[in-house]
Chains A and B, each alone.
Chain A
């Protein structure tokens, strides 16, 4: 397995972080588009950058690619300061709102990008064939892009981002124009990339998508990172909902020793509970004279957590 990974891995699978930023900020006139982004994306990881529309996600990607200059702060991509031309050869990018040259065919668009990325000419044909196959555009590769549906254009964008086996791929809302089958395909492509050792920076507001593929997540709002960590860290453990009767308010409150109690009347929710303690919880309710009708273990969804984070007033 390790062997296979090494074969698929891009040139330098070192310990250098794929992305490292320190207080990276961007201001457009009076608007603070990104306020002090500090984060590290390890190589080979899928990093989800989550936030509502207008949170500063696209600004962050443009800054990291050197398409716009930061107002303050520093950042390194694949070990080089942002904007480094040589490093761009090792990066793939799918922009958010884009239309490729409609007067070219998909194969020609890819050819132009091979040339701009300075890939060895001998590899163009096989690499173009490979990425067309991966995104499922091989059959329409010689049609003009102007005849493509939005979903096909997005697949083409993905193919462009995959050219040359990059070490880091930025995907800005990669599934916004895709149907469920297309979204599934994109998830498979992202998984394939990480198996090859490529780091993926995924900008999205589609939470289920992020939850399914990302190792690590940062949540941004109003240009500020309001939470970051692995999915497990962010979702903060398990919760149990229990439907019961026959306990006094004091007895209900005493269950606090199993986890944070959220008393909804008929239902009690215990957050951050160790799942091994659920039988003890039920036994305790029965010992106190309560009657248990239902016990539902549940993991907090990213959506719940996301809404919770956005609703919380800013802390400093």
Chain B
């Protein structure tokens, strides 16, 4: 099937072009350093006393949120780079002509690319995230309350950016589509904080900014879902007791994502991927 051939080719390209190698090497360094770092938490002292197990796990839970943030950022940038340059590059070199002269639908080309890149994103999130959690568990005995949800949220965040960048790449040069997606990612993050401020000051207009930005590019909603899945019960209790302004803090979540939001994300994926297919089908190559 043409779709699977294109998906395989996409994965092949990432590995041949040493993108995978670079990301894997960096990830190994990061995990190695964090393995050493988490072990050092036991050496901390509080008023002359060694830290307790509870304290170590609390510190670990907060550090894990920061590390997850960094991983999600690496994942986001990799997704944007992967997706932005793939189609435009093939249109420019004429590779796309030789592919489409075969019994291959344009939809299969776009979906095959999406599938190949999505497999890379999810594989990276699961392997890197899983290893990091394992290392922390071995060092401190801390395991986040919802590890599978965490991996799913972080993966989905990468997939959102991948889909967005792929949609733009059906019409725009790689550099333009990549820049727009990266800026959109940062704006959605800021939009989430702004929305939180709106909630704190009970200003509907400002709160709506956050809601609209989450609907347009749901990366921030997914990130907050990831944060919630990493928070032990004690942290959630503190978050819930905090004043409403706390919801502006992107590293603290008072509640999980509502089902409606998850349904919206599912619909968002369908719509953006369908739009990509339509956009590429109607383009002159």
Residues of A within 8 A of B (CB): 28, 62, 65, 67-68, 85-86, 88-89, 91, 93, 95-101, 103-104, 112-113, 115-118, 157, 160, 170
Contact = CB atoms under 8 A, between A and B. Distances in A.
Interface in B203-221: none
Contacts of B285: 62, 67-68
A116 B104 contact: yes
A85 B101 contact: no
B95 A89 contact: no
Given A112-B5, A116-B5, A99 B93 contact: yes
Interface of B: 2, 5, 9, 12-13, 16-17, 93-95, 97-105, 284-285
Contact of B17 (A91, A96, A103): A103
A162 to B, nearest CB: 13
B99 A116 contact: yes
A99 B98 CA distance: 10
Nearest to A157: B98
A95 B94 contact: yes
18 contacts: A67-B97, A67-B101, A68-B284, A85-B105, A89-B103, A93-B97, A95-B97, A95-B98, A97-B94, A98-B95, A99-B94, A99-B95, A103-B16, A112-B5, A113-B98, A115-B5, A116-B103, A157-B98
Nearest to B15: A103
Nearest to B96: A67
Contact of B94 (A85, A91, A98): A98
A160 B12 CA distance: 20
B16 to A, nearest CB: 4
A100 B13 CA distance: 12
Contacts of A28: 284
B193 to A, nearest CB: 41
B86 to A, nearest CB: 11
B178 to A, nearest CB: 20
Contacts of A95: 94, 97-98, 101
A107 to B, nearest CB: 14
Contacts of A89: 102-103
Contacts of A68: 284-285
B283 to A, nearest CB: 10
B98 A93 contact: yes
